[in-house]
Structure 1
Amino acid sequence: MDTRMPPSIPHVAILMGTYNGEAYLSEQLDSIEGQQHAHWTLHVSDDSPLPGTRRLLEAYQRRWGEQRLKIYSGKQQGFAANFMSLVRNSAIQGDYYAFADQDDRWHPEKLTRAVERLAAYPPSQPQLYTARAQLVDEQGTPTGYSTLQARPPGFNNALVQNIASGNTMVFNQAARECLQRSPHGEDTGLHDWWCYLLISGCGGRVVYDSTPV
């Protein structure tokens, strides 16, 4: 796979935490491969005690190339610590960063919508994109949607409610630097709520997309 892109196209570092996820992981990997925004690298921190997930990831790595899919060994301290280890890994660089869950499927336009929405604002300001999600059962049959948020997101809301689901989050470099400077995140147990709290609380902009991605 040729991963070369013009330098003007923003690069998205996708951050995925895995734990015995081989049952649905291939569907998620295929949906990432099919993104309209093709300038991305997938970074996976694997916490799995069993070898199945790692074998599946390595099969995709052989197909995509090691520059497209990078695999790390997780700390086995829970999913929040697993995701935050990727946020804190200074070897991972991008213009934007996207959390990815192992059992989701992204719509093809997911990264395109996120990057376009965030690119409308100054890169020096911490920015966080979050979106509505379509819900499915174990067979992939649609069962509904996550709650449609009628009010704009912000710090006051973040204090009492998390409307920013980690599996939809995309954030810019300024937001990542805020997260890296914070000593917390791992110990909150909910990395996505912490991201919403911290980025909205430090004067960042939170963009909510009502279209499921």
Structure 2
Amino acid sequence: MPNLISVVIPAYNATPTLAETLRSALRQTHAELEVIVVDDGSKDGTRAMAESFAAEDPRVRVISKANAGVAAARNTGIDAARGDFIAPLDADDLWHPDKLRLQLERFTNGPPSLGLVYNWYRRIDTSGRIIDISAAPVVEGWVLYRHLDWNFVSNGSTPLIRRSALGDVRYDPGLNAVGAQGCEDYLIQLQIALNHQFACVPAYLTGYRRTDGAMTEDVGRMIRSHIQMYRVLWPDLDDTARRLARRRMAGFFAEYARNRARRGLAREAIGAVGQAFAHDPLGAPLKLAEQARLTFVYLSRGQGGRADRPIDPRHFDAYSDSEIDTPWDARRRLQRFKSLAALDAAYDPGMVERPAS
């Protein structure tokens, strides 16, 4: 079947949200799809719920496996997929009905080197209401350097990936093995960007859910995941990319130092400060000063955490794909991107010389 899209949904104890997520996948206006739900050893009714959908819609398949984490579950789904395109979808996120159709149109009109098409997203709460400003970046073409500097795709439920662009690349379960799970999406996007171009559908087509107790809420773990991700990617990077990666790693070590200090873990905080200087001696003082400023703001406001109050009572589905919920100030980020865009424009994966590790 031409243009068959394989939607891959890893699911672990996902009964509160899985039905809504599956409905958002099955209502796509591009109907040539298969939906593969990988039950990752759930202990609740996730498998039964997925199988009830499969009984009603032949496009749904359910695979059950022992629990091994989200990366391994996604890989199981990819290996079982029959489509020319892979569409990852987390079991608590939502899609606009036109998401896959609009992304596929970009592939149809794009160059053969196009490997990934992303779109904008809205961050939603457990009830599907918008809770944050929705970013609207358009970053296209060769994007490796800009994507190293900023994860503008930002979540795993947004990309549509050409199957051939993946090749043998899969999500890295090793991030979970070292207690740093959380950046598998970002890592695989960067691995695709090494050899393929990106394109953007400038529309809000993904509802990215922030749930209580979600993995992304463990700030320390997410920081460690970013640091480990750059280490995994390091052998494949050229000198320019390595300079960017070192700068980014220094920033994450500075953030980790603040995270550890707030928890009274002085030795770990001091070690992280040392790592920040080791990776970016000139930039580390500014990065550490910024983290100190954020700590002061945090303490002065007496905040015990971020409050997720909806900025609009409407559900994600009530928004059009082009409706702006609140203004996004992109000036600082896009100003920095000007120099990186020039580097990306000159990027040629066939001419890249990667230094010895």
| TM-score of Structure 1 vs Structure 2, range by shorter chain | 0.7 to 0.9
> Does the residue aligned with 1:31 lie in a helix, a strand or coil?
helix
Give the drift of 1:122. Answer: 4.0
**Corresponding residue for residue 34 of structure 1:** 27
**Could you list the per-position Cα deviations for residues 31-70 of structure 1 after superposition, in whole angstroms to 9, with x for gaps in the alignment?**
11211001100011111431311110011111113xx111
1:134 maps to which of 122, 126, 147: 122
The answer as to 2:69 corresponding to 1:78 is: yes
Deviation >6 Å, runs of 4+: none
Give the drift of 1:147. Answer: 2.2
What amino acid maps onto 1:129 in structure 2? V
Does the aligned pair in 2 maintain the 1:84–1:186 contact within 8 Å? no
The answer as to 2:136 corresponding to 1:148 is: yes
The answer as to 2:197 corresponding to 1:205 is: yes
**Corresponding residue for residue 105 of structure 1:** 94
- The number of residue pairs the alignment matches comes to 197
User: In structure 2, do the counterparts of structure 1 residues 212 and 171 end up closer, same or farther at CA, with 3 Å as the change threshold?
Assistant: same
User: In structure 2, do the counterparts of structure 1 residues 93 and 74 end up closer, same or farther at CA, with 3 Å as the change threshold?
Assistant: same
Q: TM-score, normalised by structure 2?
A: 0.51
Q: Which runs of 5+ in 1 are unaligned?
A: 1-6
> With CA pairs under 8 Å and 6+ residues apart, which has the higher RCO, 1 or 2?
1
User: In structure 2, do the counterparts of structure 1 residues 150 and 38 end up closer, same or farther at CA, with 3 Å as the change threshold?
Assistant: closer
Does the aligned pair in 1 maintain the 2:8–2:74 contact within 8 Å? yes
> Does the residue aligned with 1:166 lie in a helix, a strand or coil?
coil
What amino acid maps onto 1:206 in structure 2? F
**Corresponding residue for residue 343 of structure 2:** none
What amino acid maps onto 1:161 in structure 2? W
Please give the alpha-carbon distance, in whole angstroms, between the structure 2 residues aligned to 1:54 and 1:163.
Answer: 33
**Corresponding residue for residue 56 of structure 1:** 49
Please give the alpha-carbon distance, in whole angstroms, between the structure 1 residues aligned to 2:198 and 2:66.
Answer: 29
Give the drift of 1:12. Answer: 0.4
Does the aligned pair in 2 maintain the 1:126–1:174 contact within 8 Å? no
2:150 maps to which of 142, 149, 161: 161
Q: Which runs of 5+ in 2 are unaligned?
A: 176-180, 206-357
Superposed CA RMSD in Å reads 2.0
When structure 1 is superposed on structure 2, of 157-166 and 105-114 the one drifting more is: 157-166
- Larger strand fraction of residues: 1
**Could you list the per-position Cα deviations for residues 120-179 of structure 1 after superposition, in whole angstroms to 9, with x for gaps in the alignment?**
2244x3511111112222122222443222554711123233222211111112212152
> Does the residue aligned with 1:210 lie in a helix, a strand or coil?
strand
Q: TM-score, normalised by structure 1?
A: 0.83
Q: Highest CA radius of gyration, 1 or 2?
A: 2
Please give the alpha-carbon distance, in whole angstroms, between the structure 2 residues aligned to 1:79 and 1:108.
Answer: 25
**Corresponding residue for residue 119 of structure 1:** 108
Please give the alpha-carbon distance, in whole angstroms, between the structure 1 residues aligned to 2:188 and 2:38.
Answer: 19
- Larger helix fraction of residues: 2
User: In structure 2, do the counterparts of structure 1 residues 115 and 151 end up closer, same or farther at CA, with 3 Å as the change threshold?
Assistant: closer
